A and B are shown apart, each in its own frame.
Chain A
Amino acid sequence: MAVLSEQLVKPNLLATSRSSKLPFDQMFRLASFSSALVVLVVLAGIIGSMFYGGWPAFREFGFGFITSSVWNVGQDQYGAWVAIVGTLTSALIALVIGVPISLGIAIFLTQLSPPWLKRPVATTIELLAAVPSIIYGMWGLFVFAPLFARFVQVPVTSLVEGIPFFGTILYARVPSGVGVLTAGIILAIMIIPFVASITRDILDQIPSMLRESAYGIGCTTWEVVRHVLLPQAGVSIIGAIMLGLGRALGETMAVTFVIGNANRLSLSLFDPGSTIASRIANEFNEAIGMQLNALLALGCILFLVTFAVLVLARLLIARVKLT
């Protein structure tokens, strides 16, 4: 309480409201101020608990915790490398597939769609964001993975066999449909609604006079998009993409269903792997001792990475709003 009232002194002095002597008025102000502080407390709590819980693992394994790919519960040896690689790979695949589709949808909604179609399509895309992540997981595992195994993994594997590079990264030892690439595709579908709707908002904010001038001198839609819209919105679209990346990095349930949950470093995108989030979801409830600390240390790494990505995303999006 003492801390709170101390912090309140400054805003109270600043406020010149003649009514600040009324007790209810002051209480109301105090209540909203402390509620706002809850947001900061939550962030501090997340940082604090991750560092506190993960510290024993960091101290025990040192920097090797990040670079080691051993995850052996029996011998109590833990390393994060496989999970880090899985997290980054699946998120990158999600971006490579999801970003073009999101941009296409945003361009369709802002430039091409007839007015009567705009609202239903926009709502449909936004509803994709409302579908719980576990439903994507079930769809991915029970519907998508079997089709993917049959129509993509098997033919592609026989096609690329023996070819250098492609024969390695697209070779499925066991064409079961689950794996890092499947996880990336599901993640792509999950980030599309976010990236698409933010990009649409950004494109909508561009003054229509710029667009109309370009059309007026005879530009085609492609030229308007390429030479007017993208240069105008470029930085904030990168921000929107980073926001999608932040989501893809931390997504848990859908990935846990389809990534295969193997602690194995494989060069093939068709092979099962694991991400930081999926490993925590799988093991945390049964973990004791050092395994618990190692999982919290994984959480700590995930937090630092996503936090950095999200902060960067917000800065990029905010910068353009000002200009």
Chain B
Amino acid sequence: MIGNAPPSFPATPVGGRVRRSRQVADGALKLTCILFTALGTFVLGWILLMLLVEGAGGLSLAVFTQVTPGPGTEGGGIANAIVGSLILTILSIAVATPIGVLAGTYLAEYGKGSKLAETIRFVNDVLLAAPSILIGLFVYMFMVQPMGGYSGWAGGVALAIIAVPVIVRTTEDMLRIVPGSLREAGAALGAPMSTVIRKISWRSARAGMVTGVLLATARIAGETAPLLFTALNNNFWFRPDLMGGVANLPVMIYQFALSPYQNWRELAWAGALIITAAILALSVAARLLFKKETAR
């Protein structure tokens, strides 16, 4: 188009050097992009504001000390759901971290270039985005049904299955950045492969791997769908053997938010504020840690 300009075209055309239609298209693109970005940030702000407005009013000491009230009962808190959520999250991260880190290590260190590692990497990427409700169904079929009832163990396993792909992916990515010369230096000193991995690769990639675990924690802490059919929810403290369902924040919020009772709904908002604040804090902490460690 530019090349077709007639030779008689004035050196500086009227209205600047860029044709009007081009200017309009360019301006429209810039304006649209800025508006869309503003919209995205606006929605996040709106959601956070909603949580503060609706949730902060319901926060009181009782929220953190009392158990969830039964239907039609006044007052109550969500202490059992908070502790239950903590236990489920810690349980699943404790299961998922060693598996995820070791699997990521296999992909980055042992299985380099092998067909099997390629397949596992691909499947892992697919699992990263798989619908979490299907993982709930799967754990229901192979743990809840055989064990004869809902349990915290099933909930923990369901969450762990969601956390593992996240940890595998970040561990592998972080180990891949470690320069090969470091490993060679270790091997040249006569260190066996496992020592090279643990003392050199893992140590250099530590910040990134911790970030991965933190991000996985943030990801599973708010998951609701896989807990619906595994840990369920109830209005009591969990039993020491974690059988018979464990109260947890996400399912509590789901059940209470849609309930007809005023105090249940207020507790749901308080729970929503607490869980979102915790998850956003975790995500921000993970980012800051990664930034600080990699800056060194």
Contacts and interface: CB of A to CB of B under 8 A. Distances in A.
Interface string A80-122: 0000000000000000000011001101110111000000010
Nearest to B117: A36
A22 interface: yes
B43 A189 contact: yes
Nearest to B223: A132
A131 B28 CA distance: 31
Secondary structure class of chain A's binding surface, majority of residues: helix
Nearest to A314: B125
B275 interface: yes
A105 B224 contact: no
A159 interface: no
Interface stretch (B76-84, B204-212, B249-257): B249-257
B34 interface: yes
The size bracket of the interface on A is 35 or more
A280 B137 contact: yes
Interface string B250-289: 1001100110000000001100100110011001100100
Contacts of A225: 29
B44 A220 contact: no
Contact of A253 (B41, B224, B280): B224
B131 A250 contact: yes
Interface in A34-59: 35-40, 42-43, 45-46, 49-50, 52-53
Contacts of B225: 133, 252-253, 277, 281
A43 B123 contact: yes
Nearest to B114: A11
Chain A to chain B: the 7 pairs with minimum beta-carbon distance, closest first: A250-B131, A132-B222, A104-B36, A19-B192, A35-B102, A28-B194, A220-B26
Given A125-B44, A132-B223, A220-B18, 17 more contacts: A11-B111, A32-B103, A32-B109, A35-B99, A43-B123, A45-B138, A45-B142, A101-B36, A112-B30, A127-B44, A135-B51, A138-B257, A223-B22, A280-B133, A299-B134, A302-B134, A314-B125
Interface of A: 11, 14-15, 17, 19-20, 22, 24-25, 28-29, 31-33, 35-40, 42-43, 45-46, 49-50, 52-53, 100-101, 104-105, 107-109, 111-113, 121, 123-128, 130-139, 141-143, 189, 192-193, 196, 217-218, 220-223, 225, 243, 246-247, 249-253, 257, 277, 280-281, 284-285, 296, 299, 302-303, 306-307, 310-311, 313-314
